[in-house]
A and B are shown apart, each in its own frame.
Chain A
Amino acid sequence: MSDRYSDRSRVVKLVFIVVGVLFVGRLAMLQLFDPKYRQLADQQALRNVTQYPARGFIYDRKGRLLVHNEAVYDLMVIPRMVKDLDTAYFCQSLGITRDDFDQRMQKARKYSPYSASIFMKQISKEEYAKFENKMFRFKGFYISQRTLRIYDRPIAAQVLGYVGEVDQGDLDRDPYYKQGDYIGKSGLEKSYEEVLRGVKGKRVMHVDVHNREIGPYAGGVYDTLPVEGWNLYTSIDADLQQYAEELMANKRGCVVALEPSTGEVLAMVSAPCYDPNLLVGRIRGENYKKLNADIAKPMLNRALMGQYPPGSIFKVAQSMVALDLGVITPGSGFVCDKSLVGCHNHPSAQSVQEAIKMSCNPYFYQVYRRVIQQGKYKSIYKDSQYGLTVWREYMLRFGFGQKLPIDLPMNGVQKGNIPDTAYYNRWYGKERWAFSTIYSNSIGQGEVTVVPIQMANLAAIVANRGYYITPHVVRFYGPDSLRREEYNERHETGIKREYFDIAAAGMYDVVHVAGGTARRARVDGLDVCGKTGTAENYGNDHSVFICFAPKNDPKIAMAVYVENAQGGGGTWAAPIAGLLVEKYLNGEVKRKDVEKMYREAEPCQKLPLTRRVKKKKK
């Protein structure tokens, strides 16, 4: 039926269709062209719960636990979800003030009102137990479990290192880490971070409008289980390490003990030590500040980061180089001519072995002169240049003058200094220097500096009669007992074994024969071979001692360094080394009186020391 208004049906239909098209267009705007809503939906309806894996444990060489974990709880908050909170009751339950609460909320809100951030870090198991049954009253808050390091034996802090929250650099470098994650900051925790950390797991939980977890999102297909971190099995002997730390108490310095045949680190002490438990949990920040401000630098691993003149222990290396070059023979004798360089009173050495025993300065003056000025060139300057280059190459083969590799973080590790020609040219000008300029190197003074690990390594080289294995702290790790081969490499000095036998014999005499400088290192029944050193310095001399034992088939090689100690190497470093050798090889120390004496002694000058120029012994 049509009439004069029939055409109006078109208008009506047009209105209907236009509205339909409008809706479809609007839907396209929301669903196809604006990713915002998808993100918002995921943000509010899904909660990514990170599942932190337990960090791997660290064991000593006998399977004793050095580092393990303890559960702590982070209180998380999603500010937007916080509703009807009885703030006073909440603060009281947590033991915080209202101001503190406001600050924390402010911070969380600033991070994001919609997503979770940490409200309070590392609530202990005990605190959590008190808090747990009140949780239902605090909408918008939930608990996330984490683990913290715990050290039953508070030893080897500088070697083990500590774990801390990731910083911006870590976040930029590795996308694995998210804000608030933990990472190894130093020591083994850092160098074996990838091994220890495991793999984080993730649970995507579907939460409802009341922030209750409804269940796993999409049946859990996006969930991953955390993979526990792998354990480290270190070569540290916990008993030896602890004993060394006890002996180094009240002192500054370090002890490095190696197993010569494997390069394994048995003990690495840097005194003053600190309790690694201080750098765990909520107390870390404050303690870190304190330790960092301490002028004795307890956080510094002196074994790797200290750089000292080697003193007389260097003579062992010098004699090996000279013998190998053929500029002296094992039977070479030199008069103890104190006009060349100062010395103590002793008969002149008739052989290399005797010279090492007596630590005769003029003897090694002569030895070094023959190494540096071999007579290859007429000009003593050119001759010295040549000699120094040859000598330096030998020294590098001993592991000196370079960062000695070790499976610990290498930043901050010192190279020591074995000067090359360029070094002296810079100081004196090209061909403006000769042996007479650099003779102090002969007795381990002058421009030569070494790092304690390098000294221990020197003892290991003599113990091995000519080679060393790259020092390492970790023997193997993980369930498959993997190891890092680059830290098990064998390095040859290229010097004949028989020459090292002479060095070993000399070092034996140092400890055992009348006239030796380290009689205090002697342990009945053990043939300890050692060499004392007294490194001149501002402040009192450093007391240095390297040793290995037993003489044949050595099990331990060691360097002991006591900073600014009153007295030479024989006075402090040698007896401490003796006690440590006795402890390691015999299992216990019988000489309780000696032990007590050195444990309680405080030989080091008080810090701060100001540099004062000491007249060189002439």
Chain B
Amino acid sequence: MYQEKLKIDWTTVGLWLFLALFGWVNIYAATYNGDQAGVFDMATFHGKQLLWIAAAALVALVVMFTEPRFFSNGAYIIYALVLALLVVTLFIATVSHGGKSWIDLGFFRLQPSEFAKFATALALAKFMSGIDVEWRQAHTKVVALLLIAVPAALVFLQHDTGSALVFLAFVFPLFREGLSGAILVTGVAAIALFVLALLVNKYILIGALVLLAAAYLFVWLNKRTTRDWLRAGAVLVCCVAFVFSVDFVFNHVLEAHQSERINVLLGKSEDLQGAGYNVHQSKIAIGSGGFFGKGFLRGTVTKADFVPEQHTDFIFCTVGEEWGWLGSSILVAAYVWLLVRLVNMAERQRSRFARFYGYSVASVLFIHLFVNVGMVLGLVPVIGIPLPFFSYGGSSMLAFTILLFIFIRQDASKNQLL
């Protein structure tokens, strides 16, 4: 088969390799117990992770040798298969960590929700790259929303709220394709209002909102039309309704542990033994690292099992403790570098499919980074999702690698495509 020479973006591949290997080093440190077994011991976390990295590299190689058309043409099929897998999971899942998201294959516990991300990204990219698809059309919005909502709902049903939230990532590629910026602003405003509603007396908050609306009408605007009055009034009513709904959501929609985690984050409760324990410990671990860190294998907090889940969701603690501010900042910088590079790569794609997919990859990785590191640093409520390429775990390592390398493959032969 004729194959034009591929223009592989080695920087991205290099960043992937750096994150995977640095992650492995930290998994080794996080689970180190003094009398360490060999590096290749498959009974240990680091041994298994080495296997996952090798497997992921192999899968990446396979992806690189696959025709890029395979992914665009097969997007819906892959999407359908993964959805089916998610449904199956609901019935045959092994319960673990309070979630039902694992299928036990004997040698490997598959987490299908990890794979739902790239499948959704493919399907959505495929749909959005349709010849006559415009975001302005109402049916486009409905279909796009359904493509995202169905897998998200299935994941949510597995009690994996964190992974379900990741589907919010598709706001970014859609934004790039024409989704109103007002949606983003509204989203941020809603979060702010939610936090304020929890922290400030509701009536004071409503008073402030009324004042704000009045200021908009009488100070900001020179002339007030009926339309302005209606718009301001509608926004105000929505806001007030939202504020009053916060309590209800907080007490009845969210599960008790989720409400408590939010309370801890906002400093309303300091339950260092319970809900606040993880974050308190992770802050101790990171904060004790100082500028240069305590050095490889020298961490005292992470070594002593004070931080739970330290090789998976809280792996960043080990970086903070042993590599200090310097190492942590380099890691954050590496992620941001990767994200920005992915956006730049997406912009240079000649097909809308590849561009949309590239944005999806960057956004999914971004949400993971934001939630995971934000949680560990005590900026985001505790939501258990892995740090891409870094946390221990076969499913996530394979799924993220596939997610990334499909795009690298698209990028490598972008000039062949229309």
Which residues on the B side are within 8 Å of A207 (C-beta)? 304
A12 CB contact (under 8 Å) in B283, B291, B333, B362: B362
A44 within 8 A of B: yes
A26 within 8 A of B: yes
Which residues on the B side are within 8 Å of A44 (C-beta)? 284, 301, 306
A-B pair count, CB < 8 Å, reads 137
Which residues on the A side are within 8 Å of B379 (C-beta)? 22, 26
A283 within 8 A of B: no
Could you tell me the distance in whole angstroms from the C-beta of B88 to the nearest C-beta in chain A? 35
> Is A16 a contact of B343 with CB atoms below 8 Å?
yes
A293 within 8 A of B: no
> Is A214 a contact of B340 with CB atoms below 8 Å?
no
Which residues on the B side are within 8 Å of A2 (C-beta)? 347
A13 within 8 A of B: yes
A23 within 8 A of B: yes
Interface string of A536-548 (1 = CB under 8 A from B): 0000000000000
Could you tell me the distance in whole angstroms from the C-beta of B39 to the nearest C-beta in chain A? 22
Per the 8 Å Cβ criterion, residues 1-57 of A in contact with B are 1-2, 5-6, 8-9, 11-13, 15-17, 19-20, 22-24, 26-28, 30-32, 34, 36-38, 40-42, 44-46
Per the 8 Å Cβ criterion, residues 241-274 of B in contact with A are none
Interface string of B356-393 (1 = CB under 8 A from A): 00010011001001100110010100000000000000
B332 within 8 A of A: yes
Q: Smallest CB-CB separation from B355: which chain A residue? A: A1
> Is A30 a contact of B300 with CB atoms below 8 Å?
no
User: A41-B285, A209-B305, A214-B304 given as contacts; is B324 within 8 A of A31 (CB)?
Assistant: yes
Interface string of B329-368 (1 = CB under 8 A from A): 1001101100110011011111110010001001100100
Which residues on the B side are within 8 Å of A42 (C-beta)? 288, 300
A215 within 8 A of B: yes
In the complex, A420→B289 CA distance in Å?
71
In the complex, A561→B344 CA distance in Å?
104
In the complex, A1→B366 CA distance in Å?
23
A20 CB contact (under 8 Å) in B305, B335, B359, B362: B335
Which residues on the B side are within 8 Å of A146 (C-beta)? none
Interface string of B160-186 (1 = CB under 8 A from A): 000000000000100111100100000
A36 CB contact (under 8 Å) in B177, B178, B285, B287: B287
In the complex, A46→B300 CA distance in Å?
8
In the complex, A208→B344 CA distance in Å?
46
Per the 8 Å Cβ criterion, residues 45-82 of A in contact with B are 45-46
B290 within 8 A of A: yes
Q: Report which residue of B283, B320, B379 has the largest number of chain A beta carbons within 10 angstroms of its beta carbon.
A: B283
B339 CB contact (under 8 Å) in A6, A16, A22, A210: A16
Q: Smallest CB-CB separation from B288: which chain A residue? A: A41
Per the 8 Å Cβ criterion, residues 199-223 of A in contact with B are 206-210, 214-215, 217-218
Interface residues on A, range: 35 or more
> Is B287 a contact of A37 with CB atoms below 8 Å?
yes
Which residues on the B side are within 8 Å of A30 (C-beta)? 283, 286-287, 320, 377
B31 within 8 A of A: no
Interface string of B282-311 (1 = CB under 8 A from A): 011111111100000010110111100000
Interface string of A339-357 (1 = CB under 8 A from B): 0000000000000000000
> Is B340 a contact of A206 with CB atoms below 8 Å?
no
Could you tell me the distance in whole angstroms from the C-beta of A448 to the nearest C-beta in chain B? 69
In the complex, A215→B34 CA distance in Å?
9
> Is B332 a contact of A24 with CB atoms below 8 Å?
yes
In the complex, A24→B346 CA distance in Å?
26
Could you tell me the distance in whole angstroms from the C-beta of A78 to the nearest C-beta in chain B? 14
Which residues on the B side are within 8 Å of A9 (C-beta)? 176, 343-344, 346-347
Could you tell me the distance in whole angstroms from the C-beta of A472 to the nearest C-beta in chain B? 51
Which residues on the B side are within 8 Å of A22 (C-beta)? 379
Which residues on the A side are within 8 Å of B320 (C-beta)? 27, 30-31
B306 CB contact (under 8 Å) in A6, A24, A209: A209
Could you tell me the distance in whole angstroms from the C-beta of A139 to the nearest C-beta in chain B? 14
B396 within 8 A of A: no
User: A30-B287, A46-B300, A209-B306 given as contacts; is B176 within 8 A of A20 (CB)?
Assistant: no
A27 CB contact (under 8 Å) in B328, B335, B349: B328
B325 within 8 A of A: yes
Which residues on the A side are within 8 Å of B332 (C-beta)? 20, 23-24, 27
Interface residues on B, range: 35 or more
A206 CB contact (under 8 Å) in B300, B352, B355, B377: B300
In the complex, A13→B362 CA distance in Å?
10
Could you tell me the distance in whole angstroms from the C-beta of A392 to the nearest C-beta in chain B? 69
Could you tell me the distance in whole angstroms from the C-beta of A220 to the nearest C-beta in chain B? 13
Q: Smallest CB-CB separation from A19: which chain B residue? A: B370
Could you tell me the distance in whole angstroms from the C-beta of B326 to the nearest C-beta in chain A? 9
In the complex, A570→B373 CA distance in Å?
94
In the complex, A238→B246 CA distance in Å?
85
Which residues on the A side are within 8 Å of B301 (C-beta)? 41, 44-45
In the complex, A19→B351 CA distance in Å?
29
User: A16-B366, A31-B291 given as contacts; is B303 within 8 A of A206 (CB)?
Assistant: yes
Could you tell me the distance in whole angstroms from the C-beta of A544 to the nearest C-beta in chain B? 69
> Is B373 a contact of A23 with CB atoms below 8 Å?
yes
Q: Smallest CB-CB separation from B172: which chain A residue? A: A12
B286 CB contact (under 8 Å) in A36, A37, A210: A37
Q: Report which residue of A27, A28, A30 has the largest number of chain B beta carbons within 10 angstroms of its beta carbon.
A: A27
In the complex, A379→B305 CA distance in Å?
94
Q: Smallest CB-CB separation from B347: which chain A residue? A: A9
> Is B289 a contact of A31 with CB atoms below 8 Å?
yes
In the complex, A23→B300 CA distance in Å?
23
Interface string of A93-137 (1 = CB under 8 A from B): 000000000000000000000000000000000000000000000
In the complex, A210→B304 CA distance in Å?
9
Interface string of A403-441 (1 = CB under 8 A from B): 000000000000000000000000000000000000000
In the complex, A22→B34 CA distance in Å?
35
> Is A12 a contact of B343 with CB atoms below 8 Å?
yes
Which residues on the B side are within 8 Å of A15 (C-beta)? 172, 366
User: A1-B349, A30-B283 given as contacts; is B304 within 8 A of A45 (CB)?
Assistant: yes
B336 CB contact (under 8 Å) in A6, A17, A206: A17
In the complex, A28→B291 CA distance in Å?
8
Q: Smallest CB-CB separation from B363: which chain A residue? A: A12
Could you tell me the distance in whole angstroms from the C-beta of B334 to the nearest C-beta in chain A? 10
In the complex, A42→B344 CA distance in Å?
44
Could you tell me the distance in whole angstroms from the C-beta of A218 to the nearest C-beta in chain B? 7
> Is A40 a contact of B284 with CB atoms below 8 Å?
yes
Which residues on the B side are within 8 Å of A19 (C-beta)? 336, 366, 369-370
Q: Smallest CB-CB separation from B333: which chain A residue? A: A20
> Is A12 a contact of B359 with CB atoms below 8 Å?
yes
Which residues on the A side are within 8 Å of B305 (C-beta)? 208-210
Could you tell me the distance in whole angstroms from the C-beta of B373 to the nearest C-beta in chain A? 5
Could you tell me the distance in whole angstroms from the C-beta of A74 to the nearest C-beta in chain B? 24
In the complex, A20→B347 CA distance in Å?
21
B287 CB contact (under 8 Å) in A12, A24, A34: A34
Could you tell me the distance in whole angstroms from the C-beta of B27 to the nearest C-beta in chain A? 18
Could you tell me the distance in whole angstroms from the C-beta of A607 to the nearest C-beta in chain B? 60
> Is A217 a contact of B300 with CB atoms below 8 Å?
yes
In the complex, A217→B303 CA distance in Å?
11
> Is B172 a contact of A41 with CB atoms below 8 Å?
no
In the complex, A599→B41 CA distance in Å?
82
In the complex, A218→B351 CA distance in Å?
56
Which residues on the B side are within 8 Å of A45 (C-beta)? 300-301, 303-304, 306
Could you tell me the distance in whole angstroms from the C-beta of B170 to the nearest C-beta in chain A? 12
Q: Smallest CB-CB separation from A210: which chain B residue? A: B305
Per the 8 Å Cβ criterion, residues 135-177 of B in contact with A are 172, 175-177
Which residues on the B side are within 8 Å of A41 (C-beta)? 284-285, 287-288, 300-301, 321
Given contacts A26-B377, A38-B288, A209-B304, 6 further A-B contacts (CB under 8 A): A9-B346, A11-B175, A30-B283, A40-B288, A206-B300, A208-B303
Q: Which 4 A-B pairs have the closest CB atoms?
A: A37-B287, A41-B288, A20-B336, A45-B300
Q: List 5 A-B contacts (CB under 8 A).
A: A15-B366, A16-B343, A23-B373, A32-B325, A206-B303
